[in-house]
Structure 1
Amino acid sequence: MSRIFLVDDHTMVREGLRSVLEKAGHQVVGEDADPAHALTVLSQLAPDVLLLDLNLNGSSGLMLLLELQRRNLMLPTIVLTMSAHPHQVSEALRMGALGYVLKGASSRELLQAIETVRQGQRFLGEGVVALRHDGADLLALDDPLSQLTTRERQIMEQVARGQTSAAIAKQLNLSPKTVETYRSRLMRKLGVDNLPGLVRFAMQCGMLQGET
């Protein structure tokens, strides 16, 4: 069972999602139509998964993603929206979303997305993957670094340079525990099992080109 929070400005959509999720054994711990208010509630509830629409009464779910990232609230987030524009997908993933699913998807696909992002893995719905077959420019999504947030890249680079969690925490004004959480999430995302593997990955991606 996952504790899930919904952010969508359509009441009927939230009601439908709640019905599907609760029938599957998940718990909807809260819902909101206002991203600003949702931010306050999310910091208190710390749900397992956030389901987020991008178009919210003239506001943007991307701004909520950005603020969550700024506050180091590492909530596994699935963007659940009508739009599948390649640029919008890339931006959502760059701002920290782990999943992107279209509202026309099946309940089965959504439930699969929830299980996947809870494990720290990316999930792209069938409607998003289909963009590749339509000739859309989704090269950025194939870049392994594209799935990392700005903060994750910062921490990955410092870990690869041999910095301790305490040193990284001091430099980035985080707690050592938060740095450890980021490091574990990095390894899950990139499919590496240990620190040497993370260093090798960083070198292969050119992150340590300035090192001698």
Structure 2
Amino acid sequence: MKILIVDDHVIVREGVSRLLAELPGAIIREAENAADAMTIFRTEPPDVIVLDINLKGNSGLEFLRKIKAEDPAVRVVIFSMYSDVVYATSARRAGALGYVSKSAASDQLLMAVKRAARGETYVDSAIASELALTAFSPQENVNHLSNRELEILSLLADGKSLSDIADALGVAYKTVANTCTRIKEKLGVDRTADLIRFAVENRHMRTVTPDESRW
């Protein structure tokens, strides 16, 4: 099984590489940014990609969308510091088969990669519980938000300013501001303060009831 690990932290890549080396026949490549990962993806297509959301200069979810556009069958497991369902939902919509928090037990990442290799889905147990027990939003309009809009809503819930979000996503401030305007229109919210309040109050949200650890 060919596995590509994409993370901008060397220690994380080394740890994940050692862990996944336990899998039979594992051939592991590493990349620290989206550009290097894209080169490997195109020249040595991996069976599974283990991808962080935060990459230097890029959003991991944006990279995921790009490779899904090139190869809809690509199998990706998101391995992220974020353990709330907003990110898991956004990753799922972008085409990830799995989502595992970096605070999860190592066997959950192994399970996620094994299932992804078989074309199956997996979400770690803590996030699966949140998906099962909490509500995504009291408003159906949330279901009409795009992946990027959900991502920005989650960052607002984390207390990030529009400037912080622009820096984190590698886009212009105006782009974030315009996206927030669209979010407010979709949610029926008039003020940015109300949008932030909505984001904070609804950061743990239910989308589906998982079958054990499946999405």
TM class, shorter-chain normalised? 0.5 to 0.7
Aligned to 1:17: 16
What is the distance in 2 between the residues matched to 1:22 and 1:132?
30
Aligned residues of 1:116 and 1:123 also touching (Cα < 8 A)? yes
What is the distance in 2 between the residues matched to 1:95 and 1:133?
21
Structure 1 gap ranges (5+): 140-145, 147-212
What is the distance in 1 between the residues matched to 2:135 and 2:34?
30
Tell whether 2:91 aligns with 1:92: yes
Aligned to 2:104: 105
Aligned to 1:61: 60
> Structure 1 residues 44 and 112, CA, compared in 2 at 3 Å: closer, same or farther?
same
> Structure 1 residues 30 and 88, CA, compared in 2 at 3 Å: closer, same or farther?
same
What is the distance in 1 between the residues matched to 2:137 and 2:29?
33
Shift of 1:134: 5.4
Tell whether 2:53 aligns with 1:33: no
Aligned residues: 139
Aligned residues of 2:76 and 2:96 also touching (Cα < 8 A)? yes
- The DSSP-based 3-state class of the residue aligned with 1:31 is strand
1:131-170 CA deviation, whole Å, 9 max, x = no partner? 135524189xxxxxx9xxxxxxxxxxxxxxxxxxxxxxxx
- The DSSP-based 3-state class of the residue aligned with 2:61 is helix
Aligned to 1:115: 114
What is the distance in 1 between the residues matched to 2:137 and 2:128?
9
> Structure 1 residues 138 and 76, CA, compared in 2 at 3 Å: closer, same or farther?
farther
Aligned to 1:43: 42
The TM-score with structure 1 as length reference comes to: 0.60
Structure 2 gap ranges (5+): 144-215
> Structure 1 residues 24 and 72, CA, compared in 2 at 3 Å: closer, same or farther?
closer
1:62-98 CA deviation, whole Å, 9 max, x = no partner? 1111101221252210000010232221121111100
What is the distance in 2 between the residues matched to 1:138 and 1:31?
37
Aligned residues of 1:54 and 1:81 also touching (Cα < 8 A)? yes
Q: In structure 2, what residue type is equivalent to 1:25?
A: P
> Structure 1 residues 113 and 26, CA, compared in 2 at 3 Å: closer, same or farther?
farther
Q: In structure 2, what residue type is equivalent to 1:125?
A: D
- The DSSP-based 3-state class of the residue aligned with 1:6 is strand
Aligned residues of 2:21 and 2:28 also touching (Cα < 8 A)? no
What is the distance in 2 between the residues matched to 1:3 and 1:73?
18
Aligned to 1:70: 69
After TM superposition, the structure 1 = structure 2 runs for residues 52-201 of structure 1, keeping only pairs within 5 Å, are 52-72=51-71, 74-132=73-131, 135-137=134-136
The higher-RCO structure (CA 8 Å, 6+ apart) is 2
Q: In structure 2, what residue type is equivalent to 1:20?
A: L
Q: In structure 2, what residue type is equivalent to 1:38?
A: A
> Structure 1 residues 3 and 21, CA, compared in 2 at 3 Å: closer, same or farther?
same
What is the distance in 2 between the residues matched to 1:138 and 1:19?
39
Shift of 1:51: 0.2
Q: In structure 1, what residue type is equivalent to 2:14?
A: E
What is the distance in 1 between the residues matched to 2:18 and 2:68?
29
Q: In structure 1, what residue type is equivalent to 2:100?
A: V
> Structure 1 residues 137 and 38, CA, compared in 2 at 3 Å: closer, same or farther?
same
Q: Which moved more, 1:48-57 or 1:64-73?
A: 64-73
Q: In structure 2, what residue type is equivalent to 1:100?
A: Y
What is the distance in 2 between the residues matched to 1:91 and 1:73?
17
